[in-house]
Amino acid sequence: MRPMENSAPAPFTFMKMHGLGNDFVVIDRRQGGPELTTALVRAIGDRHTGVGFDQLATIDPDEEALARLTFWNSDGSLSGACGNATRCIARHLINETGLKSFNLRTERGFLACEDAGDGLTRVNMGAPLTEWQDIPLSHAMETLHLDIPGDPVATGMGNPHLTFFVDDAETVDLAGLGAKFEHHPFYPQRTNVEFVQVLGPNAIRLKIWERGAGITLASGTCSCAAAVAAARRGLTERRVTVYVDGGQIGIDWRDDGVWMTAPTAHVFTATFTPDFLS
């Protein structure tokens, strides 16, 4: 008799990265790799029995860009954009290829990436979306002043955002309010929720609740959306330093898009076992 074939899934490697504590599992599939399912993403995202992450990102080949990126939240849902993960992967590809600038493709389209020097990585996250149908919201409304207690702003950065301005960001009930407003009926795809304290014309303090992930130490798209909301309200200039729990991010809203600059870290590379994958 022939021995039984081993039907266990083949192991594969991944990278653990973070941008200011906003952490990611990154799977490079340019030479082949696993097909992800909601169940597998959730298993990997469990911080007790898996690896844990705020988002998971895959790198795939692309004919027109250096690579194509896809993002998942820790609850297994897809995320249209992830700025800090894009920067982390851009830094990995800068180190791998020696290139100083290139494009990556995401659901938002092509994002320009560049080496900003001193170990910093800069990404153009594209133009902010400020029309209700593009964010998207449930029906036509003024996005600069939503009819929600607290007078928040709606913004799209390839994913939806709801930004509140507060006197003291440190005293906000982030867990309670974040979970509540993530599911607000104005947002058919749920939303990221930000609480912003304006520190001056070029600085804001930001507390973040990410859609599908919860409280995070940092978020690239949330930082972009918060800076855009503050500038649209006339509370800051278009170039600001955003202070998040994990550090600081430079946001520059230019004519060609919202540019984001900050450090990244590649923590380790490891391999999932067949037992875990099965």
Question: Does 272 lie in the same domain as 231?
Answer: no
Phi-psi region of 241 (alpha: psi -120 to 50; beta: other; left: phi over 0): beta
Express as a percent the part of the chain with pLDDT over 70. 97
Average pLDDT over residues 211-230: 97
163 is in an annotated binding site: no
- What CA–CA distance (Å, rounded) separates 75 from 72? 8
Q: How confident is the model at residue 8 (pLDDT cuts 50, 70, 90)?
A: low
What's the CA gap between 268 and 235, in Å, rounded? 40
Distance CA 96, CA 85 (A): 16
Q: Is 103 annotated as a binding residue?
A: no
DSSP 5: P
CB 184 within 8 A of CB 25: no
Helix (H, G, I), strand (E, B) or coil at 189: coil
Residue 75 sits in which domain range? 12-125+264-277
Domain count for the chain, please give it: 2
Confidence of residue 11 (pLDDT cuts 50, 70, 90): confident
Do 113 and 201 reside in the same domain of the chain?
no
pTM over 0.85: yes
Report whether 83 belongs to an annotated binding site: yes
170 within some domain: yes
Pair 96, 23 in one domain: yes
Q: Is the pLDDT of residue 89 over 90?
A: yes
The token pair that represents 213 in the structure block: 């992930």
Question: Would the annotation count 257 as a binding residue?
Answer: no
108 is known to lie in a ligand binding site: no
The CATH number assigned to the domain holding 239 equals 3.10.310.10
Catalytically active residues, by annotation: 82
